[in-house]
Structure 1
Amino acid sequence: MAGKITFTMIKPDAVKNGHIGAILADINQAGFKILAMKYTKLSAEKAGEFYEVHKERPFYGELVDFMSSGPIVAAVLEKENAVEDFRKLIGATNPAEAEEGTIRAKFATSIGENAVHGADSDDNAEREASFHFAQTEIYR
């Protein structure tokens, strides 16, 4: 199934600002099918584990604090060329550089509070989906 799924999280800033519905609408309108979704809150430990790849980066502690600061919406999405198409849909990490009409251009407030996470590779999409969902919770 490589290439057909991606993983996303609507981050605490977008949840707090009431953008869940609008972001999901953008995802649906872009042709993605939702295979799994949950409204949840990451503990600092779980957020640290999820972002472990960034452990040596200077922003790691801030990222973990932010991602565990409030509820998120985690989702597995399906579409041909899912990872690349979703990365285009969400836009650049820095919302000031994100193309007009992208999710981050519309809903992000800063590089740190950039509304959504999107997997950056097919392998990471599978790993991230498995981090949040049991295989029996992903309806392919």
Structure 2
Amino acid sequence: MEQTLVIIKPDGVKRKLVGEILQRFERKQLNIHQLKVATMSRELAEEHYAHIKTFDFFEDMMTYMTSSEVVYIILEGNDVIKTVRKMLGATNCLEAESGTIRGDFGGSSYQNVVHASDSPEAAAIEIKRFFN
């Protein structure tokens, strides 16, 4: 069974969207394998977002992602990565379609409520990173 990592970001937690987001995953028959709530450390944030270190908004992203609690979720299911990515919508919320999580709840390009792994390889790395 395929697994993916989902992170409900600080804006999703602060706006009390966790239940709604989890309910959407469950309606698609995806299984919640593990879940935990924690504040992301600067070290983990830098590791996770190393691919955007040269972007102008990197420091804003670090401040945002470490500002309050996030929810880490391991979801399981058939084609779970593809299914979740479709459910999330475009990374930039302004481009995300209504009916997707980011389209319905997102605020900006990086304050976009949720993160999800984009490949089986990324999922394995990210699950290990956040669930030791």
Report if TM-score (shorter chain) is over 0.5: yes
Query: 2:88 aligns to what?
Result: 90
Distance 1:121 1:62 in 2: 26
1:18 is displaced (CA, Å) by 0.8
1:81 is displaced (CA, Å) by 1.2
Among 36, 39, 51, the alignment partner of 2:37 is 39
1:56 is displaced (CA, Å) by 2.4
Which portions of structure 1, spanning 4 or more consecutive aligned residues, are displaced by more than 3 angstroms? none
1:58 is displaced (CA, Å) by 2.6
- Output the TM-score relative to the length of structure 1: 0.88
| Aligned residue-pair number | 132
Query: 1:107 aligns to what?
Result: 105
- Output the TM-score relative to the length of structure 2: 0.93
Question: Do structure 1's residue 56 and structure 2's residue 17 form an aligned pair?
Answer: no
Q: Deviations over 1:23-75 (max 9, x none)?
A: 11011112211111101101222211221222223322221111001100001
Question: Do structure 1's residue 19 and structure 2's residue 17 form an aligned pair?
Answer: yes
1:13 is displaced (CA, Å) by 0.4
* Alignment gaps of 5+ in structure 2: none
Distance 2:28 2:89 in 1: 13
* Alignment gaps of 5+ in structure 1: 135-140
When the two chains are superposed, the root-mean-square deviation of aligned CA atoms in Å is: 1.2
Distance 1:43 1:130 in 2: 15
Larger mean CA deviation between 71-80 and 103-112 belongs to 103-112
